[in-house]
Amino acid sequence: METYGLFVFPSQDYYSKDLQKSEDLQTNACITLARPLPTFIKEALKCVHDDVVSRYYGCGLVIPECLETCWILDLGSGSGRDCYMLSKLVGEKGHVTGIDMTDAQVEVAKKHIDYHMKKFGYQVPNVDFIHGYMEKLGDAGLKDESYDIVISNCVINLSPDKRTVLQEAYRVLKAGGEMYFSDVYASCDLPEDIRKHRVLWGECLGGALWWKDLYRIAEEVGFCPPRLVTASRITINNKELESVVGDCQFVSATFRLFKVPKKGPAERYQVIYNGGITGHEKELEFDANFTFKEGEVVEVDAETAAILRSSRFAEEFLIRLAAGRAPGGCCPAKVKVSDKLGSCYT
């Protein structure tokens, strides 16, 4: 087992030795999908080598929208499944980097680079894989403000230092960049017996963050408040593990964090989606609060307007002040994250 500081990574051996394929998982925590795959994602997935797909242990869909020419970093890239899908979606002018702490997984990913580049018709590889730690991206040679998007798929829970993971993601993101990630969250601050359980840790439950702590840490690091995309309850179909977990509940949730200036006055804005994003031409499900339909006027708060204006979505929207609205005026009610996640825990 490898160490990070004084912490021993039990998941290192678990993912390289205990798990050889997805069927070896003992809970459904790492294979829970929040919603059906869009057609264009299914087509990209069909292009990924079977050996890569069979070693996939993610807990959600981590393919954001508006990807053409983007530079993307995948934290805990494993066998490279998401990286190869993204490699196709960003196009030859984009780039995808995967970083993982497990040598065996990195080697699986690397050996299939030529296969995928030929499959996609790329003259020069637009994907690379690095052995390293998501808490130490600088040691892996990743520079400040070098990526448009950082993704991760059910791996931040495996880190003993989640604040540093978010700090490093924030550092390598360009201004206007986004961290888009799925992970497992707990209904409470987990007790030590759950945190130290080898199987629960390896299967993404033992290291689950209390969702309220995610909001606190993200804002302290500098991100705008987390925006919930999807959430679904995790069931543990293993009596022995259920007895250890007790009353603690878990959800698989996808969040998006943006590195944009903090919102200013509480003004209201109108935004109109122009329908130009591949795979989302008619409708863009941005998060649990906002779905934008092509050509439709939607009133949003200042924070949402700032995100759309300052990020890669800027050219996809017409944004203007809402006519006749005074600061603090009425705006469609937002879905409370506590309500959305709470419904998953019950």
Per-residue pLDDT averaged across 138-163, rounded? 95
Closest CA to 84 of 121, 127, 33: 127
pLDDT at site 237: 81
pLDDT of residue 148 exceeding 60, the answer is yes
pLDDT of residue 126 exceeding 80, the answer is yes
pLDDT at site 4: 41
Confidence of residue 56 (pLDDT cuts 50, 70, 90): confident
pLDDT at site 330: 43
Confidence of residue 192 (pLDDT cuts 50, 70, 90): very high
Which residue is listed with tokens 């690397």? 110
pLDDT at site 337: 66
pLDDT at site 236: 86
Radius of gyration of the CA atoms of the chain, in A: 20
Sign of the C-alpha dihedral computed for residues 201, 203, 205 and 211 taken in this order: positive
Confidence of residue 293 (pLDDT cuts 50, 70, 90): very high
Per mean pLDDT, which range of 75-84, 203-212, 316-325 is the poorest? Answer: 316-325
Per-residue pLDDT averaged across 265-281, rounded? 92
- Give the domains, in start order, of the chain with CATH numbers: 11-262 (3.40.50.150), 268-335 (3.40.5.100)
Per-residue pLDDT averaged across 277-295, rounded? 96
pLDDT at site 15: 46
Residues 6+ apart with CB under 8 A from 326: none
Helix (H, G, I), strand (E, B) or coil at 177: strand
- Mean pLDDT, all residues of the chain: 87
pLDDT of residue 129 exceeding 50, the answer is yes
Confidence of residue 23 (pLDDT cuts 50, 70, 90): low
**Of the ranges 118-127, 188-197, 263-272, 336-345, which is most confident?**
118-127
Could you please report the per-residue DSSP string of 87-108?
A: HHHH-TTSEEEEEES-HHHHHH
pLDDT of residue 8 exceeding 70, the answer is no
Q: How far is CA 250 from the centre of its chain?
A: 17
pLDDT of residue 328 exceeding 50, the answer is no
- The span from the CA of 223 to the CA of 225, in Å, is 6
Between 305 and 7, the higher pLDDT residue? 305
Residues 6+ apart with CB under 8 A from 333: none
Confidence of residue 264 (pLDDT cuts 50, 70, 90): low
Per-residue pLDDT averaged across 86-90, rounded? 97
Other beta carbons within 10 Å of 43: 14
pLDDT at site 51: 94
pLDDT of residue 174 exceeding 50, the answer is yes
Other beta carbons within 10 Å of 327: 10
Per-residue pLDDT averaged across 216-244, rounded? 92
- The span from the CA of 64 to the CA of 235, in Å, is 26
Per-residue pLDDT averaged across 276-304, rounded? 96
Per-residue pLDDT averaged across 242-255, rounded? 92
pLDDT of residue 100 exceeding 60, the answer is yes
pLDDT at site 262: 76
pLDDT of residue 32 exceeding 60, the answer is no
pLDDT at site 335: 64
Burial of 267 from C-beta contacts in 10 A (0-12 / 13-18 / 19+): middle
